Amino acid sequence: MINSGVVACFPHMANYAYAFKYICEKGFEVKYLIPPPISKRTLELGSKISPDYVCSPFKYSMGCFLEALELGANCLMQIYGGCRLNYYGELNSTILHDSGYDFRFFDMAAVDWHSRKSVFENFRIINPEMSIVKVGLAIPVTLSIFKTLDKFEDYIRRNVGFEVNDGEFDATYKEFLKKIEDVSNGKEFKKLSKTYWKKLNGIKTDKPQKTIKVGLVGDYFTVQEPFSNYFMEKELAKFGMEVYRQMNITCTVIQRQNKKKRKYAKKYAKYNLGATANCTIAEAIKFAKEGCAGIIQVKSFGCTPEIDAMPILQNVSRDFNIPILHFSFDSQTSETGVKTRLEAFYDMVEARNAK
Protein backbone atom coordinates (compact mmCIF):
# COMPACT_ATOMS: atom_id res chain seq x y z
CA MET A 1 0.00 0.00 0.00
CA ILE A 2 1.40 3.38 -1.08
CA ASN A 3 2.47 5.72 1.70
CA SER A 4 0.72 8.83 0.37
CA GLY A 5 2.64 11.11 2.71
CA VAL A 6 5.97 10.53 0.94
CA VAL A 7 6.76 11.91 -2.53
CA ALA A 8 10.22 10.81 -3.66
CA CYS A 9 12.43 12.10 -6.47
CA PHE A 10 15.85 11.45 -8.03
CA PRO A 11 17.43 14.17 -10.18
CA HIS A 12 17.13 13.56 -13.92
CA MET A 13 19.68 11.63 -15.91
CA ALA A 14 18.68 10.38 -19.36
CA ASN A 15 15.36 8.45 -19.04
CA TYR A 16 16.18 6.46 -15.92
CA ALA A 17 13.45 8.20 -13.93
CA TYR A 18 11.05 5.48 -15.14
CA ALA A 19 13.14 2.77 -13.47
CA PHE A 20 13.44 4.81 -10.26
CA LYS A 21 9.69 5.33 -10.31
CA TYR A 22 9.06 1.60 -10.44
CA ILE A 23 11.24 0.66 -7.47
CA CYS A 24 9.94 3.56 -5.39
CA GLU A 25 6.26 2.82 -6.01
CA LYS A 26 6.32 -0.99 -6.19
CA GLY A 27 9.20 -1.60 -3.79
CA PHE A 28 9.30 1.21 -1.24
CA GLU A 29 5.58 1.92 -1.71
CA VAL A 30 5.90 5.69 -1.89
CA LYS A 31 4.75 8.10 -4.58
CA TYR A 32 7.39 9.04 -7.12
CA LEU A 33 7.55 12.40 -8.85
CA ILE A 34 9.21 12.49 -12.26
CA PRO A 35 10.57 16.05 -12.35
CA PRO A 36 10.01 18.25 -15.42
CA PRO A 37 12.44 17.63 -18.32
CA ILE A 38 15.73 19.46 -17.81
CA SER A 39 15.59 22.94 -19.32
CA LYS A 40 17.36 26.29 -19.14
CA ARG A 41 15.23 27.08 -16.11
CA THR A 42 16.55 23.96 -14.36
CA LEU A 43 20.13 25.10 -14.91
CA GLU A 44 19.37 28.69 -13.89
CA LEU A 45 17.69 27.57 -10.66
CA GLY A 46 20.52 25.22 -9.80
CA SER A 47 23.24 27.75 -10.63
CA LYS A 48 21.76 30.36 -8.27
CA ILE A 49 22.31 28.26 -5.16
CA SER A 50 25.38 26.26 -6.23
CA PRO A 51 29.06 27.15 -5.73
CA ASP A 52 30.32 29.05 -8.79
CA TYR A 53 33.02 26.62 -9.87
CA VAL A 54 31.26 23.34 -9.13
CA CYS A 55 30.76 21.06 -12.16
CA SER A 56 27.56 21.48 -14.17
CA PRO A 57 26.05 18.05 -13.22
CA PHE A 58 25.83 19.37 -9.63
CA LYS A 59 23.95 22.45 -10.85
CA TYR A 60 21.56 20.31 -12.90
CA SER A 61 20.89 18.13 -9.83
CA MET A 62 20.16 21.20 -7.70
CA GLY A 63 17.83 22.58 -10.36
CA CYS A 64 15.96 19.26 -10.56
CA PHE A 65 15.59 19.15 -6.79
CA LEU A 66 14.23 22.70 -6.67
CA GLU A 67 11.68 21.99 -9.41
CA ALA A 68 10.67 18.77 -7.63
CA LEU A 69 10.24 20.56 -4.30
CA GLU A 70 8.03 23.14 -6.03
CA LEU A 71 5.82 20.29 -7.25
CA GLY A 72 5.47 18.67 -3.81
CA ALA A 73 8.40 16.26 -3.46
CA ASN A 74 9.47 15.76 0.16
CA CYS A 75 11.98 12.90 -0.11
CA LEU A 76 14.98 13.69 -2.29
CA MET A 77 17.50 11.06 -3.39
CA GLN A 78 21.04 11.22 -4.73
CA ILE A 79 23.23 8.56 -6.32
CA TYR A 80 26.95 8.09 -5.71
CA GLY A 81 30.05 7.56 -7.83
CA GLY A 82 33.81 7.47 -8.08
CA CYS A 83 34.52 11.21 -7.96
CA ARG A 84 33.12 14.35 -6.31
CA LEU A 85 29.71 12.82 -6.94
CA ASN A 86 30.16 11.05 -3.58
CA TYR A 87 29.94 14.47 -1.89
CA TYR A 88 26.97 15.76 -3.90
CA GLY A 89 24.35 14.34 -1.55
CA GLU A 90 25.65 15.93 1.63
CA LEU A 91 26.21 19.26 -0.11
CA ASN A 92 22.80 19.15 -1.89
CA SER A 93 21.06 18.48 1.41
CA THR A 94 22.95 21.17 3.34
CA ILE A 95 22.37 23.92 0.76
CA LEU A 96 18.67 23.13 0.36
CA HIS A 97 18.03 22.90 4.11
CA ASP A 98 19.93 26.17 4.65
CA SER A 99 17.70 27.71 1.97
CA GLY A 100 14.64 26.88 4.07
CA TYR A 101 13.30 23.75 2.37
CA ASP A 102 11.84 20.93 4.46
CA PHE A 103 12.43 17.38 3.19
CA ARG A 104 14.05 14.05 4.02
CA PHE A 105 17.17 13.02 2.09
CA PHE A 106 18.36 9.58 0.99
CA ASP A 107 22.05 9.74 0.08
CA MET A 108 23.34 6.53 -1.51
CA ALA A 109 26.93 7.57 -0.71
CA ALA A 110 26.10 7.43 3.01
CA VAL A 111 25.08 3.76 2.84
CA ASP A 112 27.51 0.99 3.75
CA TRP A 113 26.36 -1.45 1.07
CA HIS A 114 28.23 -4.32 2.76
CA SER A 115 26.20 -3.90 5.96
CA ARG A 116 22.58 -5.10 6.00
CA LYS A 117 21.92 -2.91 9.02
CA SER A 118 23.17 0.22 7.22
CA VAL A 119 21.18 -0.60 4.09
CA PHE A 120 17.98 -1.20 6.08
CA GLU A 121 18.37 1.93 8.22
CA ASN A 122 18.99 4.15 5.20
CA PHE A 123 16.16 2.58 3.21
CA ARG A 124 13.82 3.53 6.06
CA ILE A 125 14.55 7.19 5.30
CA ILE A 126 12.47 6.68 2.16
CA ASN A 127 9.63 4.90 3.93
CA PRO A 128 9.82 3.97 7.66
CA GLU A 129 7.09 1.38 7.05
CA MET A 130 8.67 -0.23 4.00
CA SER A 131 8.82 -3.99 3.43
CA ILE A 132 12.32 -5.21 2.59
CA VAL A 133 10.68 -8.21 0.86
CA LYS A 134 8.76 -5.95 -1.54
CA VAL A 135 11.91 -3.93 -2.23
CA GLY A 136 13.73 -7.19 -3.00
CA LEU A 137 10.96 -8.28 -5.39
CA ALA A 138 11.02 -4.92 -7.18
CA ILE A 139 14.80 -4.88 -7.76
CA PRO A 140 14.91 -7.48 -10.63
CA VAL A 141 12.16 -5.66 -12.52
CA THR A 142 13.92 -2.33 -11.97
CA LEU A 143 17.17 -3.77 -13.35
CA SER A 144 15.22 -5.11 -16.33
CA ILE A 145 13.83 -1.61 -16.98
CA PHE A 146 17.35 -0.13 -16.87
CA LYS A 147 18.66 -2.74 -19.32
CA THR A 148 15.72 -2.34 -21.69
CA LEU A 149 16.01 1.46 -21.75
CA ASP A 150 19.71 1.15 -22.64
CA LYS A 151 19.03 -1.53 -25.26
CA PHE A 152 16.31 0.55 -26.95
CA GLU A 153 18.39 3.72 -26.91
CA ASP A 154 21.42 1.88 -28.36
CA TYR A 155 19.27 0.71 -31.26
CA ILE A 156 17.75 4.16 -31.78
CA ARG A 157 21.03 6.09 -31.84
CA ARG A 158 22.38 3.71 -34.49
CA ASN A 159 19.34 3.99 -36.74
CA VAL A 160 17.51 7.28 -36.11
CA GLY A 161 19.65 9.14 -38.65
CA PHE A 162 18.24 6.95 -41.41
CA GLU A 163 14.51 6.85 -40.58
CA VAL A 164 12.22 7.34 -43.57
CA ASN A 165 9.56 9.21 -41.59
CA ASP A 166 11.14 11.91 -39.42
CA GLY A 167 10.32 11.65 -35.74
CA GLU A 168 8.98 8.08 -35.82
CA PHE A 169 11.66 6.65 -33.53
CA ASP A 170 11.24 9.50 -31.07
CA ALA A 171 7.44 9.22 -30.98
CA THR A 172 7.49 5.42 -30.54
CA TYR A 173 10.04 5.59 -27.73
CA LYS A 174 8.15 8.34 -25.89
CA GLU A 175 5.00 6.23 -26.14
CA PHE A 176 6.89 3.31 -24.60
CA LEU A 177 8.22 5.45 -21.73
CA LYS A 178 4.74 6.69 -20.93
CA LYS A 179 3.39 3.14 -20.74
CA ILE A 180 6.14 2.03 -18.33
CA GLU A 181 4.44 4.22 -15.69
CA ASP A 182 1.40 1.89 -15.72
CA VAL A 183 3.37 -1.36 -15.40
CA SER A 184 2.61 -3.22 -12.15
CA ASN A 185 4.92 -6.26 -12.36
CA GLY A 186 7.73 -7.94 -14.27
CA LYS A 187 5.43 -9.98 -16.48
CA GLU A 188 3.65 -6.87 -17.73
CA PHE A 189 6.93 -5.09 -18.38
CA LYS A 190 8.33 -8.05 -20.32
CA LYS A 191 5.25 -8.10 -22.54
CA LEU A 192 5.38 -4.32 -23.03
CA SER A 193 9.09 -4.28 -23.92
CA LYS A 194 8.63 -7.16 -26.38
CA THR A 195 5.81 -5.28 -28.12
CA TYR A 196 7.79 -2.05 -28.45
CA TRP A 197 11.01 -3.79 -29.48
CA LYS A 198 9.05 -5.14 -32.46
CA LYS A 199 7.68 -1.66 -33.14
CA LEU A 200 11.15 -0.09 -33.11
CA ASN A 201 12.51 -2.80 -35.39
CA GLY A 202 9.56 -2.29 -37.70
CA ILE A 203 10.29 1.41 -38.31
CA LYS A 204 11.38 1.93 -41.91
CA THR A 205 14.93 3.12 -42.46
CA ASP A 206 16.94 3.95 -45.56
CA LYS A 207 20.37 2.91 -44.33
CA PRO A 208 23.28 2.67 -46.78
CA GLN A 209 25.55 -0.37 -46.73
CA LYS A 210 28.45 1.77 -45.55
CA THR A 211 27.79 4.36 -42.87
CA ILE A 212 29.93 6.80 -40.91
CA LYS A 213 30.19 5.65 -37.30
CA VAL A 214 31.12 7.91 -34.41
CA GLY A 215 31.81 6.90 -30.80
CA LEU A 216 30.76 9.01 -27.81
CA VAL A 217 32.79 8.81 -24.60
CA GLY A 218 32.95 10.97 -21.49
CA ASP A 219 31.81 11.60 -17.95
CA TYR A 220 28.87 9.68 -16.59
CA PHE A 221 26.31 12.49 -16.47
CA THR A 222 27.18 14.74 -19.40
CA VAL A 223 27.47 12.00 -22.00
CA GLN A 224 24.09 10.50 -20.97
CA GLU A 225 21.91 13.53 -20.21
CA PRO A 226 20.94 14.97 -23.63
CA PHE A 227 20.15 18.51 -22.47
CA SER A 228 23.56 18.90 -20.84
CA ASN A 229 25.35 18.13 -24.13
CA TYR A 230 22.87 20.05 -26.31
CA PHE A 231 21.30 16.86 -27.70
CA MET A 232 24.55 15.90 -29.39
CA GLU A 233 23.35 12.43 -30.41
CA LYS A 234 20.43 13.90 -32.34
CA GLU A 235 22.69 16.47 -33.99
CA LEU A 236 25.07 13.75 -35.17
CA ALA A 237 22.15 11.68 -36.44
CA LYS A 238 21.06 14.62 -38.62
CA PHE A 239 24.31 14.15 -40.56
CA GLY A 240 23.39 10.54 -41.23
CA MET A 241 25.84 9.06 -38.73
CA GLU A 242 25.60 5.96 -36.56
CA VAL A 243 26.26 6.92 -32.95
CA TYR A 244 27.84 4.46 -30.51
CA ARG A 245 27.95 4.93 -26.75
CA GLN A 246 28.73 2.43 -23.98
CA MET A 247 28.53 4.70 -20.95
CA ASN A 248 25.22 3.72 -19.32
CA ILE A 249 23.85 1.99 -16.22
CA THR A 250 23.75 -1.43 -17.88
CA CYS A 251 27.48 -1.45 -18.66
CA THR A 252 28.80 0.31 -15.57
CA VAL A 253 26.45 -0.80 -12.77
CA ILE A 254 24.60 -3.96 -13.81
CA GLN A 255 27.34 -5.67 -15.84
CA ARG A 256 30.14 -4.04 -13.79
CA GLN A 257 32.38 -3.56 -16.81
CA ASN A 258 34.55 -0.84 -15.23
CA LYS A 259 37.28 -3.23 -14.02
CA LYS A 260 37.43 -4.97 -17.40
CA LYS A 261 37.71 -1.62 -19.13
CA ARG A 262 40.54 -0.51 -16.84
CA LYS A 263 42.47 -3.64 -17.88
CA TYR A 264 41.62 -2.96 -21.53
CA ALA A 265 43.10 0.54 -21.23
CA LYS A 266 46.17 -0.55 -19.23
CA LYS A 267 48.62 0.06 -22.08
CA TYR A 268 47.63 3.74 -22.02
CA ALA A 269 46.74 4.24 -18.34
CA LYS A 270 48.62 2.09 -15.85
CA TYR A 271 46.75 3.47 -12.83
CA ASN A 272 43.11 4.23 -12.10
CA LEU A 273 42.54 7.89 -12.99
CA GLY A 274 39.24 7.99 -11.10
CA ALA A 275 35.57 8.15 -12.03
CA THR A 276 34.97 7.31 -15.71
CA ALA A 277 38.37 8.33 -17.12
CA ASN A 278 39.75 4.80 -17.65
CA CYS A 279 36.42 3.76 -19.18
CA THR A 280 36.65 6.73 -21.54
CA ILE A 281 40.07 5.55 -22.72
CA ALA A 282 38.99 1.90 -23.04
CA GLU A 283 35.83 2.81 -24.95
CA ALA A 284 37.80 5.05 -27.32
CA ILE A 285 40.17 2.15 -28.08
CA LYS A 286 37.23 -0.22 -28.61
CA PHE A 287 35.43 2.20 -30.93
CA ALA A 288 38.62 2.75 -32.92
CA LYS A 289 39.11 -1.01 -33.33
CA GLU A 290 35.48 -1.51 -34.34
CA GLY A 291 35.71 0.90 -37.25
CA CYS A 292 34.41 4.21 -35.94
CA ALA A 293 35.52 7.09 -38.14
CA GLY A 294 35.80 9.52 -35.21
CA ILE A 295 35.41 9.81 -31.45
CA ILE A 296 33.92 12.63 -29.38
CA GLN A 297 34.75 13.12 -25.70
CA VAL A 298 31.94 14.83 -23.79
CA LYS A 299 32.62 16.14 -20.29
CA SER A 300 31.58 18.81 -17.83
CA PHE A 301 33.92 21.76 -17.33
CA GLY A 302 36.38 21.05 -14.52
CA CYS A 303 35.89 17.26 -14.49
CA THR A 304 39.43 16.37 -13.36
CA PRO A 305 39.48 12.64 -14.29
CA GLU A 306 38.25 13.42 -17.82
CA ILE A 307 40.83 16.22 -18.13
CA ASP A 308 43.51 13.65 -17.18
CA ALA A 309 42.19 11.37 -19.93
CA MET A 310 42.54 14.02 -22.66
CA PRO A 311 46.33 13.71 -23.36
CA ILE A 312 46.00 9.91 -23.25
CA LEU A 313 43.21 10.10 -25.83
CA GLN A 314 45.62 11.98 -28.08
CA ASN A 315 47.91 8.94 -27.93
CA VAL A 316 44.96 6.74 -28.89
CA SER A 317 44.19 9.13 -31.74
CA ARG A 318 47.78 8.90 -33.01
CA ASP A 319 48.10 5.11 -32.67
CA PHE A 320 44.80 4.33 -34.36
CA ASN A 321 44.83 7.26 -36.79
CA ILE A 322 41.41 8.40 -35.65
CA PRO A 323 40.30 12.00 -34.98
CA ILE A 324 39.10 12.79 -31.45
CA LEU A 325 37.09 15.92 -30.65
CA HIS A 326 36.84 17.23 -27.07
CA PHE A 327 33.83 19.10 -25.64
CA SER A 328 33.63 20.73 -22.19
CA PHE A 329 30.20 21.89 -21.05
CA ASP A 330 29.18 24.39 -18.38
CA SER A 331 26.33 26.87 -17.88
CA GLN A 332 28.01 29.34 -20.29
CA THR A 333 28.58 26.96 -23.22
CA SER A 334 27.31 28.28 -26.57
CA GLU A 335 24.89 25.98 -28.37
CA THR A 336 25.80 27.61 -31.69
CA GLY A 337 29.48 26.94 -31.06
CA VAL A 338 28.75 23.27 -30.33
CA LYS A 339 26.77 22.83 -33.56
CA THR A 340 29.46 24.60 -35.61
CA ARG A 341 32.20 22.34 -34.24
CA LEU A 342 30.10 19.21 -34.84
CA GLU A 343 29.49 20.27 -38.45
CA ALA A 344 33.22 20.82 -38.99
CA PHE A 345 33.97 17.45 -37.37
CA TYR A 346 31.52 15.71 -39.70
CA ASP A 347 33.03 17.42 -42.77
CA MET A 348 36.51 16.28 -41.73
CA VAL A 349 35.42 12.69 -41.03
CA GLU A 350 33.50 12.50 -44.30
CA ALA A 351 36.53 13.78 -46.23
CA ARG A 352 38.80 11.20 -44.55
CA ASN A 353 36.34 8.44 -45.39
CA ALA A 354 36.21 9.54 -49.00
CA LYS A 355 39.98 9.11 -49.27
What pTM value is reported for the model? 0.92
The length of the chain in residues reads: 355
> Which candidate, 186, 106, 182, places its Cα nearest to that of 139?
186
* Spans in the chain with pLDDT lower than 50: none
Q: Write down the pLDDT at residue 257.
A: 67
Q: Write down the pLDDT at residue 274.
A: 80
Q: Write down the pLDDT at residue 4.
A: 66
- Interval 48-58: pLDDT, tens: 999 888 888 89
Q: What CA–CA distance (Å, rounded) separates 355 from 338?
A: 26
Q: Write down the pLDDT at residue 106.
A: 95
Q: Write down the pLDDT at residue 354.
A: 76
